Structure 1
Amino acid sequence: MNEDLHWQDDAAVPRYRSSAAARMVNIPVATLRVWERRYRVVGPSQAPSGHRLYSSQDVRRLVLIKQLVDQGNGIGMLARLDTARLQAMVDEVAGVAATLSAPPSAPDSRPDAMRVLLLGSGFTPRHVHALQGVAGAHIVAHLGDGADTELTARGVQADAVLVEVGALHMDTAQRLWRLARVVGARHQIVVYGFASTQVLESLRVRSAVLRRAPLTPDEWASLLHDELRSWQSLADATPTLAQLAPPPRFDADALYTLTQAMPRVACECPQHLAQLITLLGQFETYSADCESRQPADVTLHAYLFRVAGQARALMEDALATVARAEGVPLPAPARAAARGEAAS
């Protein structure tokens, strides 16, 4: 315990100047200063010499923010979250990526129905009856919102958690997120009475569907139906995917050089292939870094990222085939893009 406290104290000691902290985070010093001045992401100390000094804790927080910004999250929202919540977001994205990069399972391995956990005392028998009537959904449990809910839920497996809560505070949001991870649910629908903007943003970045109370039983059923459609489409598509696509084979310069070296024939297939490769590569990056936060968007965009990468790799193979047919030597392989390296 004393060693842990010593480490925590040591991690809080200001020791790194702006240039060193920026290098460790891999951002320009100018970006670090903008983040501080405009968003107050960290609060460095000031040495007698006037230099700003950052602790190891400051650097760790900046690294997490940099990772999440690179994934498409807004710096303004991230700056308001504490380090523990930033770490939880990074862990979740890593978990989704690991799941999608795993070998595909058999097409019939998913449950026939979406398993739904109801949480909260706001669900009346009419609500439960309406939700049970949604085709393709199966209510696996209805739990209260007491302090022992997480312990009770440890024996439950669910694909979605439906929550009815009057007052939504940050500790409640964190508890809901932990519960979703305990039961294995990627989908959350939260109907609330009152909540602050910060609390709502912390749930939105985790792809929760948010609605103001009250909702009628039919409105609840409609929400579940929409979430079910998202779950079914991804559950049907994801197992059929192959492994992650290889890194880009050609960069922009190589594409230009290759297409210009090919003889001009009646058609312009090499140029069209190069354009398709470029567009697919751009969409691959966009899917990885997409800023929209719609239901199940993390899983959806990871799926689109894989599809776009596979299509881009196929078009690259086609262009290489055309080049060999024309007797044009292939350029050296391009260096893997940052996103491709990270994904592989």
Structure 2
Amino acid sequence: MAGLPVETLRVWERRYQISDTRRSSHGQRLYSAEQVERLALLKQLVDQGHGIGLLAGLSRQQLQLMLEQHNPVQSSSSAAPIRVVVVGTSLPRRVVALGAEAIGLDLRVRCATLAELNEQEPDGDAEVLILEKAELDDSVLPRIDALRERIPAARLVLYRFSSSATIRALRSAGCVVARLPADLNELALLCRLAMRGQRLPLSHTPAAVPAPRYAEDSLAMLAQASGRVSCECPRHLAEVLLTVGSFERYSAQCAVRSPEDAELHATLERSAGQARALLEDALERLALAEGISVVTKGG
């Protein structure tokens, strides 16, 4: 009904907790009509190129808004571009290169830093102030607040790395905080969420990283196996998994010099674990296709 392969649905449910289904007396999953509709929206947006990691925490209404934003048949052709001020080292250039109007924005002011923005004429007509800061810290909050009288617009803060405490503080101050999107077509959606005062629940709550699935000695044997099959991918993938798993463990054990250093290494460990889980899914499918047996932990 949603157009999703069962395998994909199970991966999404395991990794992103996208649906909380009930079970029948025989153990079968029971989906409501609303859940099916939400899954269908997720499928359409993923097919358009959006990452499931961004979509998983959005409500059905937010997903519908996002779909309408990217579907000229469903969205209103008379909708005016969002008036924005963009501050950042690379985001303003990317918006100009892609074309602000093409992604539903009216770029009023662009600059590299908040200090530079302070020196420019204020734009009281702007609807959203977008701040791009790769490494986000608490120092940005008072500087954003200081601009409220000059630019009384909604606040959208985009980052790559940040502590949960900083994100909570910014949200308490009324900012919408999200990771920098790879696809700039998502900017207009994020701006609309900021204008409506809606929060993104996934920005600072990382999905749980599953424990390693495969025994290390089994991966090592596969990595050292000679090419007895036409496809060398299982051997290469086992080598990559060994390296990523090693880095994940190293990050967990790495000595830290400060709370900031501890946060960085925790992020590295989590990122490596997420990458390892994705590669394990790929190895599972590859092993089935090639008829290879890879021993799992406890197996």
* TM-score grouping bracket, smaller chain normalisation: 0.3 to 0.5
Relative contact order (alpha carbons < 8 A, sep ≥ 6): 1 or 2 greater?
1
Is the radius of gyration larger for structure 1 or structure 2?
1
TM-score, structure 1 length as denominator?
A: 0.30
Higher helix share: 1
